[in-house]
Structure 1
Amino acid sequence: MAPPVRATRTQRLIPFVLLGAGLYAFHNSFYGPFIFDDRYSILVNPTIRRLWPPWTALSPPSTVACPVAGRPIVNLSLAVNYALGGLDVRGYHAFNLAIHLLSALLLFGVVRRTLLSSSLRGRYGDQAPWLAMAVALLWTVHPLQTESVTYVIQRTELLVGLFFLLTLYCAIRGVDSVRPHAWYAAAVVACALGAGSKEVMVAAPLLVLLYDRVFLSRSLRDAFRRRGGLYAGLAASWLILFGLLLASPRPRAVAFGSQGLRAWDYAATECSVILHYLQLALWPHPLVVDYDDWPIATTPATVLLPAAAMLSLLGAAIWGLRRRPPLGFLGAWFFLILAPTSSFVPVPTEIAAERRMYLPLAATCVLAIMGGEAALRHLLLRERPHDTLRRYLGGGLLVATVAVLAQVTVRRNDDYRSTFAIWNDVVSKRPNNVRARLNLGDYFFRQGQIAEARRRRMPSVTIRRRSA
């Protein structure tokens, strides 16, 4: 990889643009209360009450209901929050947003250096920083990110996203550094931390290797020959994941809870779920924090069309890896990161969850920006007047899109302003969601409004009887 050109004075402002956009989009996320799974992970979690000795915070509860079970790095981050501000929810929201903004900067760095790689530098040249900024802006302010950022305990997704991007960024930096081993060591450490944050980190070593093959090396053999130590270190994170899974109740809970839900039925259902994710990436409405009522695909009408669409997308990704490797890498990024939760291993308690798109959304943002750049390049010729027009037109479209997405994100954050607001939002959008109705009834019960609690809960009984 050729070394990137030095940033101009204007380009040095890009990180501040990203930070400013992210702060605006999530400025009203600081006051939402702890909700749902926050209770087990924070409010009644005894292991976050002290930072010393550190192994206490690194030993999260092993109960099925606790999302931090088997995720010691997430639990440690909660202990840091508790040490700094107790149960003041603002500190937890600020921590989440800080992680998200750091990830945005890393995504910018990864995309910028990729566009300045030897295989792409000739096409994009001095546009690389601006295209990378556009990708990072869309990803940062997209409303689909609100569940990960604003719902406190979805910090699991934020931390694995941060360490995933940091692993890739450090690996890229090591290629053209005079001290590559320091960068590679940092990549291995980041990968290990990601393994302690969430199981989806299992895809990181594979995607770093694939990135190397697509953008840096002539072949997989060449990649292993040059950076074999890096890949051995990254693969070692699988041992960490394996050990944490053995100690966690999550695999046993999945195995028990999936009785009656076949792997094939789950995979067929996930085809429609992933298509729904893509729809939300393009048109982020309606956003829902809970999909308890997502139907299992068991009939030809619910299986065939989504499966055909998904197989077409998978086929396009495989074709891209052979014929258009950069495009194929985007497809691999999308599908490999979703694979642990959206393929053949049933997660019956959460058939769908918008937070799972936190990292895969980056691929759709890259595709949108690069596709838009290619369309403008095709429509307007390369001569100087058209080149200037293309830049102004592209910049105007970007500003308008980011402004709209950021405003939608602000409005979506407002749905998290109270326990009542978020569960009422779910019920209004998905009336057959039993879990949402029960949580809404529980809210009124805690307020002492027993009659209202019963009224809110009663439809859930009818829904369960009908579904049974």
Structure 2
Amino acid sequence: MNRGKGDKKQLLYLSVTVGLICLATYLRALGCGFVNYDDPLYVLNNPVIKQLNWDTVVSAFTQAHVGWWMPLTWISFAIDHFFWGLEPFGYHLTNIVFHSLNAALVVLIADRVLRMGAGKEERELRADGWIHPVTLLLAGLLWGIHPLRVESVAWVTERKDVLNGFFSLGAILWYLCYVQAKEMYGTGARRPYVLSLVFFALSLMAKSVSVVLPLLLLVIDWYPARRLRRDNVLPLVREKLPFLALSVLMALVTVYFTSESNYLISYELFPFHQRMLVSGNAIFEYVRLLLLPVGIIAFYVIPDPIPPSYLVTSVIVAVLCVLIFAFRKYRWISATWLAFIIPLLPVLAILQNGDQSFAARFTYLPSVAPSIAAGAAIGLVFKKAGSRHRVWQSIVIPVLALLVFYVVATVKDIAVWQNSETFWTRIVSVRPGAIVHKERGLYYHSVGKFHEAIGDFSAAIQTAPEAWHPYLYNLYVFRGDSLRAAGRYAEALDDLTAAINQFPHPPYYFLRGSVLKSMGRVKEAEADFGAAGPDPGKLAWLWIAN
């Protein structure tokens, strides 16, 4: 496992090269703005990040914001705000830089993993001078420029993803260093162990999704480290106790703050069997998008009712699990699958929050192991291909074509995050529905595109699920206000009356009074203005059932 100075320099060049390629690929995101999907909560209207001082640090560490405790994420946003104000360029730049660093870390991890492996395949990769570097290059690029990474990088809110990724990957890298140092020297491995633990703690402060990292470390012990055996399970588990303690503490903190904000959906509203079906389908979709990253959108809504296809995809996933673990001879396949599934556990429907069935950003850490495995597999194919002509014809050209496809698809998908209109229009074009039409309608309403807003609110009303019926007054009042602004007073009057009949809210009376006044019905308008009161308030979306 010892490496000379030449090997270390080569590894540095490879990691920097992958990082720079990722940086160049994502430069288009610098021209993107904020979108009205969580960016107002996390940045635009977040008072916590508007100052960078000791009070900001205290507030970040002692309170949950937007329902989550992630102090390092809030502090990073505060630093951005200090330098950039509300200019989106700087926030996107920070995301891109962190992601580029993460891609470089993937190269370093891949090198450690492949050198640590004691199997025939790993020895073959290292035997040929150029195949090992190519493998590392591919591992970093297959992860870093994959279109599934776009959501985590081009969406400002997902700073938590790239920041957590930096510390999580750092924790894994230091743990690999610890394992190698302990194998080689027996003692003196305390420093990398402590650094791994510190990076793990920092990752939890950026986003709690890395809470499962102790399980990933046990997978590393099993393969490629081959430390985990029946006779030493307990010592290795004891070794992870500090990591497990941090995970338990983070889980308690998360449950406490999410219970206060009611972010988690109860099992009464979302039964266990439905959660399992949604989780099984999510894993199926993650695998599909990993292999064929086309048609990616940022908002996959859980359908109501859950379709029979979810049962089919869940069964396929279960069968796949059985088949993977049936072939014990190829331990690397099982280890790759475990390293893919374990980081997904916190984001599956078992702990559901919100309406999303699955999301591309949730593959940020889970995709690392498959990318390294894919790079190694391609490297082995290079090794066994034979003649140079055959290598170019059957391997190099397809691999280059795949990487070019990734870059083109990634750059194209970045454009979706240009602004709120491009963002929601992309989702509507792929998976139209009440929620996405409503969101785009609210955006159009906010920027004065009232004719477009009318169309979206109408589509939302027509496709609204039964669970939305107690809240339909929102759609009627926003469509009514858009109709009023467009000068279509008779239609506006009908919508505003429908909204008031369902939910008699002061702003609704004020809007209807304005419509009646424009129609010359002054006495009726005065009655509505009286019902609205002297301070009716602003129009806003309300989740109050009536």
Taking structure 1 as the reference length, the TM-score comes to: 0.88
Is residue 2:216 matched to residue 1:207? yes
Supply the distance in 2 between the matched residues of 1:92 and 1:250 (Cα, whole angstroms): 30
Residues 1:447 and 1:254: Cα distance change in structure 2 (over 3 Å): closer
Q: Could you tell me which runs of 5 or more consecutive residues in structure 1 were left unpaired when the two chains were aligned.
A: none
Is residue 2:24 matched to residue 1:17? no
**Where do 1:275-354 residues align within 5 Å?**
275-292=284-301, 294-295=302-303, 298=306, 301-319=308-326, 322-342=328-348, 344-354=350-360
Supply the distance in 2 between the matched residues of 1:63 and 1:131 (Cα, whole angstroms): 41
Residues 1:220 and 1:168: Cα distance change in structure 2 (over 3 Å): farther
Which residue in 1 is equivalent to 2:532?
Answer: none
**Where do 1:115-154 residues align within 5 Å?**
115-120=114-119, 121-125=122-126, 126=129, 127-154=131-158
Is residue 2:62 matched to residue 1:56? no
Residues 1:258 and 1:81: Cα distance change in structure 2 (over 3 Å): farther
Which residue in 1 is equivalent to 2:85?
Answer: 86
Residues 1:453 and 1:250: Cα distance change in structure 2 (over 3 Å): farther
Which residue in 2 is equivalent to 1:189?
Answer: 198
| 1:190 partner amino acid | F
Residues 1:3 and 1:209: Cα distance change in structure 2 (over 3 Å): farther
Whichever of the two has the greater Rg, that structure is 2
Q: Report the 3-state secondary structure (helix = DSSP H, G, I; strand = E; otherwise coil) of the residue aligned with 2:31.
A: coil
CA contact (8 A) 2:64 2:70 kept: no
Residues 198-207 or 5-14, more deviating? 5-14
Supply the distance in 1 between the matched residues of 2:191 and 2:354 (Cα, whole angstroms): 42
Supply the distance in 1 between the matched residues of 2:247 and 2:260 (Cα, whole angstroms): 16
State percent identity of aligned pairs: 20
CA contact (8 A) 1:62 1:248 kept: no
CA contact (8 A) 1:200 1:337 kept: yes
Residues 1:247 and 1:422: Cα distance change in structure 2 (over 3 Å): same
CA contact (8 A) 1:47 1:59 kept: no
Is residue 2:161 matched to residue 1:157? yes
Residues 364-373 or 150-159, more deviating? 364-373
Which residue in 1 is equivalent to 2:536?
Answer: none
| 1:3 partner amino acid | N
Residues 1:283 and 1:272: Cα distance change in structure 2 (over 3 Å): same
Which residue in 1 is equivalent to 2:460?
Answer: 460
Over the residues paired in the alignment, what is the CA RMSD in angstroms? Answer: 2.7
Residues 1:136 and 1:250: Cα distance change in structure 2 (over 3 Å): farther
Supply the distance in 1 between the matched residues of 2:255 and 2:332 (Cα, whole angstroms): 36
Q: Report the 3-state secondary structure (helix = DSSP H, G, I; strand = E; otherwise coil) of the residue aligned with 1:196.
A: helix
- Give deviations 1:373-407, integer Å, cap 9, x for gaps: 444555x34xxxx3785378644433322122111
Taking structure 2 as the reference length, the TM-score comes to: 0.76
CA contact (8 A) 2:11 2:108 kept: no
| 2:107 partner amino acid | F
CA contact (8 A) 2:116 2:180 kept: no
Deviation at 1:302, TM superposition (A): 2.2
Q: Report the 3-state secondary structure (helix = DSSP H, G, I; strand = E; otherwise coil) of the residue aligned with 2:251.
A: helix
**Where do 1:166-315 residues align within 5 Å?**
166-177=170-181, 179-220=188-229, 230-249=239-258, 253-256=262-265, 259-292=268-301, 294-295=302-303, 298=306, 301-315=308-322
Supply the distance in 1 between the matched residues of 2:305 and 2:466 (Cα, whole angstroms): 17
- Give deviations 1:410-448, integer Å, cap 9, x for gaps: 11111111111111111111122x222112111211112
**Where do 1:65-84 residues align within 5 Å?**
69-84=68-83
Which residue in 1 is equivalent to 2:377?
Answer: 371
- Give deviations 1:83-135, integer Å, cap 9, x for gaps: 22221211111111111111111111111111112514422214333212101
Supply the distance in 2 between the matched residues of 1:297 and 1:281 (Cα, whole angstroms): 27
Residues 205-214 or 328-337, more deviating? 205-214
CA contact (8 A) 1:258 1:348 kept: no
Supply the distance in 1 between the matched residues of 2:87 and 2:23 (Cα, whole angstroms): 20
- Give deviations 1:184-241, integer Å, cap 9, x for gaps: 1110011111112222212101111220232224435776787677523222211431
Which residue in 1 is equivalent to 2:492?
Answer: none
Residues 434-443 or 134-143, more deviating? 434-443
Q: Report the 3-state secondary structure (helix = DSSP H, G, I; strand = E; otherwise coil) of the residue aligned with 2:202.
A: helix
- Give deviations 1:338-378, integer Å, cap 9, x for gaps: 11122533334222111111112223323433333444555
Residues 1:231 and 1:7: Cα distance change in structure 2 (over 3 Å): farther
Q: Report the 3-state secondary structure (helix = DSSP H, G, I; strand = E; otherwise coil) of the residue aligned with 1:70.
A: coil
Higher relative contact order, chain-length normalized (CA < 8 Å, sep 6+): 1
CA contact (8 A) 2:15 2:108 kept: no
Q: Report the 3-state secondary structure (helix = DSSP H, G, I; strand = E; otherwise coil) of the residue aligned with 1:116.
A: helix
Is residue 2:365 matched to residue 1:359? yes
Q: Report the 3-state secondary structure (helix = DSSP H, G, I; strand = E; otherwise coil) of the residue aligned with 1:351.
A: strand
Supply the distance in 2 between the matched residues of 1:444 and 1:343 (Cα, whole angstroms): 32
CA contact (8 A) 1:24 1:406 kept: no
| 1:19 partner amino acid | G
Residues 418-427 or 207-216, more deviating? 207-216
**Alignment size in residue pairs:** 454
Which residue in 2 is equivalent to 1:407?
Answer: 408
| 1:305 partner amino acid | V
Which residue in 2 is equivalent to 1:425?
Answer: 426
**Where do 1:378-397 residues align within 5 Å?**
380-381=385-386, 386=387, 390=391, 394-397=395-398
CA contact (8 A) 1:60 1:71 kept: no
